[in-house]
A and B are shown apart, each in its own frame.
Chain A
Amino acid sequence: MYRYTDFDAAFVAERNRQFRAQVERRINGSLTEDEFKPLRLMNGLYLQLHAYMLRVAIPYGTLSGSQMRQLAYIADRWDKGYGHFTTRQNIQFNWPKLRDVPDMLDALAEVQMHAIQTSGNTIRNVTADHFAGAAADEIADPRPVAELIRQWSTDHPEFQFLPRKFKIAVSGSENDRAVLRAHDVAVQIVEQDGEIGYRIFVGGGLGRTPMIGKVLRDFLPEADLLPYLEAVVSVWNLLGRRDNKYKARIKITVHEHGISEISRLVEDRFAVLRPAFSGIDQALFDTIKADFAAPDFAHRDSADFDRAYDRDPVFRAWADTNLSDHRIPGYAIAQISLKAHGATPGDATSSQMRVLADLAERYGHDELRISHEQNVVLPHVHKADLPQIHTILKAHGLATANIGKISDIIACPGMDYCALATARSIPVAQKIATRFDALKLEHEIGDLKIKISGCINACGHHHVGHIGILGLDRAGVETYQITLGGDATQDAALGDRTGPGFGYDEIVPAIERLIGTYLDLRGDAQETFLQTYRRIGMAPFKSALYDSETRVAAE
């Protein structure tokens, strides 16, 4: 894993010292809120519905055991004993006191973490495939690329006051687990004629104007990455709409000017910038790559795994659902669900965080990942250790076998926490998960992505959910719109709206009718909800949702 250099550590320490003084000046009245707000946002501190919220970056979703343990300590010492993992591979603390935040930032710095650029109109936390460095289908580990981008973008003087926030994702696989095409810019590692390079996407994003990113460069040589990204962001920094925040994101710039014109402007700018990058960025890249050297994988017998798999149906269900192929034979990638039925998606208690830290240190080469789907990943575990890992997970409420299933729901904090939200998300997710657990249909339904947002900003990625749910305020009442057919993978697609929304008490029965229709109409048990929707279209689902006779029958 990447280790801070002396420069990194000094930079973060100085930044924290500045912020401590700024907080003090706000408290003693020297700074007004208008003066203080941009300063706190630069350090990840929001004021939400009920309290402050501190958003901490987990760059490319990678954590060590000691870092996870420190998050647990922060949750206990200055918050309410839990943290919330987000779709941007951040962790949010929902109840900090203003006076405590500088101490929290210092505690983060002790384990080489920070909250810089987790807010504001700047380049945000760089995200990556949560299977980075472990996936069987990976061309190269995307984390060194993400770390290089992080170092380039952190406190970049030209990019601190962009037209709007700017989100970058990196993947090293053809199979997209990082929602590349919903990002302002995405970097996909590709191989062409034996040479590693990058496919660059631009102009994706969700929110009130959802768009799928377009290919800006099909193949970019490795050495050109930073000057090319700098060209993209600087072109947008000039062209981006500052007159209207709703039209400021680069997706609108690309839409208004066209991908050809953006490409021409970027290439022109790139030609100017390229000579300024003398190669020191590539020397740095080589150093960073060394920091992400693969662990020393052991070659061991997997018989313990096979025995447990044959004898224990609970372990078998968990293994079938939560494990993925590792690039090293005998190893597996284990996803730890933070979606126990009825729990808040993405929440982990401090004791659960400590368990995860212990597991990483004992069995996982001291590595953890946070997925954009709000789960935790042990990327490198030997199969022989999985029965013991599963036993420990079970004892701490972390062994739910539902990865990729109907209860593995992405849900933004919604109106339970967020000042921007127009309706709640969390209780809707809780009710859906509880309902389908009670029906014992989860594994019969198979792979299904439900994603819920509590407002049009779409932090819950509802546009790319197979079933998307958007909470809105309709004349003072919580109302939920449904979309179908969204896809967050390499076949990215935006969902189609079904029709009028449903009330808070109507949304779970509506989802139940959708699922009943799918189970009735799927070709066979292997055909997923998304495949069925693509085959038969909206009409039968719309009928199930809105046909009064169907509704009466369902009730």
Chain B
Amino acid sequence: MPKAFTPKVVTANALLEGDVVYLSEDDRWVRRLNEAELLTDEAHADLRLIEAQARHAEVVGAYLADVKPGPNGPEPTHFREDFRRTGPSNHAHGKQAEAS
């Protein structure tokens, strides 16, 4: 029996700033995970990743990251993606600084 597909988002680092970005449903690179397109279909996810990787003048290292649906949009399922969503824990830098 094939393994159930875990929901995903397309994520990467922005070319100019290097910060974490996510692909939105309307093809923008957004900074907040909860604004990312939730990908629940494997074929569609693969297609979105190919499209993202082709945008190499905008981002670096696009990949599919596991998420789960939450009340306000996708949420991380692994601590690495949780840190990428927020920023380092020793300084209030990165996304947590931008959000505050």
Residues of A within 8 A of B (CB): 26-29, 32-33, 47-52, 80, 82, 94-99, 344, 347, 415-417, 424, 426-427, 430, 473, 476-478
Contacts and interface: CB of A to CB of B under 8 A. Distances in A.
A28 B95 CA distance: 26
A192 to B, nearest CB: 48
A344 B95 CA distance: 19
Contacts of B94: 50-51
A73 to B, nearest CB: 19
Given A33-B56, A415-B83, A416-B83, A51 B17 contact: yes
Given A80-B91, A344-B90, A47 B61 contact: yes
Contacts of B88: 50, 416-417, 426
A48 B61 CA distance: 11
A27 B15 contact: yes
A482 to B, nearest CB: 20
Contact of A424 (B87, B89, B95): B89
Contacts of B78: 476
Interface in B49-64: 56-57, 60-61
B89 A49 contact: no
B46 interface: no
B28 interface: no
A437 B21 CA distance: 39
B40 to A, nearest CB: 20
B1 interface: no
A415 B84 CA distance: 9
Contacts of A29: 56-57
Contact of B90 (A96, A98, A99, A416): A416
Q: Residue among B17, B78, B84 with the most chain A CB within 10 A?
A: B17
A114 B54 CA distance: 33
Nearest to B77: A476
Interface string B69-80: 000000001111
Contacts of B83: 49, 415-416, 424
Contacts of A344: 90-91
A50 B91 contact: no
A47 B57 contact: no
Contacts of A473: 79-80
A47 B59 CA distance: 11
Contacts of B17: 51, 97-98
B18 A427 contact: no
B89 A416 contact: yes
A50 B19 contact: yes
Given A416-B90, A430-B90, A50 B60 contact: no
A51 B91 contact: no
Given A49-B84, A80-B91, A415-B79, 18 more contacts: A29-B56, A33-B60, A47-B13, A50-B18, A50-B84, A50-B95, A51-B19, A80-B93, A95-B93, A97-B16, A97-B17, A344-B90, A416-B90, A424-B83, A426-B90, A476-B77, A476-B78, A477-B79
A51 B18 contact: yes
Nearest to B20: A50
Interface residues of B, number: 25
Given A426-B90, A476-B79, A478-B79, A98 B56 contact: no
Nearest to A413: B88
B20 to A, nearest CB: 6
19 contacts: A48-B18, A49-B83, A50-B19, A50-B84, A50-B93, A50-B95, A51-B13, A51-B18, A51-B19, A51-B94, A97-B16, A97-B17, A416-B83, A416-B89, A417-B88, A424-B89, A426-B88, A426-B90, A473-B80
Nearest to A476: B78
Contacts of B61: 33, 47
Contacts of A98: 15-18
Nearest to A342: B90
Q: Residue among A27, A347, A415, A430 with the most chain B CB within 10 A?
A: A415
B19 to A, nearest CB: 6
Contacts of A33: 56, 60-61
Nearest to A36: B60
B88 to A, nearest CB: 4
Contacts of A27: 15-16
Contacts of A427: 89-90
B52 to A, nearest CB: 13
A451 B94 CA distance: 26
B87 A50 contact: yes
Contacts of A416: 83, 88-90
B26 to A, nearest CB: 22
B79 to A, nearest CB: 6
A24 to B, nearest CB: 12
A441 to B, nearest CB: 24
Contacts of A478: 79
Contacts of B18: 47-48, 50-52, 96-98
Contacts of A417: 88
Contact of A26 (B15, B19, B80): B15
A477 B95 CA distance: 22
Interface string B2-22: 000000000001011111100
Contacts of B57: 28-29
B67 to A, nearest CB: 13
Contacts of B77: 476
Contacts of A28: 57
Contacts of A32: 56
Contacts of A50: 18-20, 84, 87-88, 93-95
Nearest to B88: A416
Contacts of B84: 49-50
B15 to A, nearest CB: 7
* Top 10 closest pairs, chain A to chain B, by CB: A416-B88, A29-B57, A51-B18, A52-B18, A50-B94, A344-B90, A426-B90, A33-B60, A427-B89, A476-B78
Contacts of B90: 344, 347, 416, 426-427, 430
A452 B93 CA distance: 22
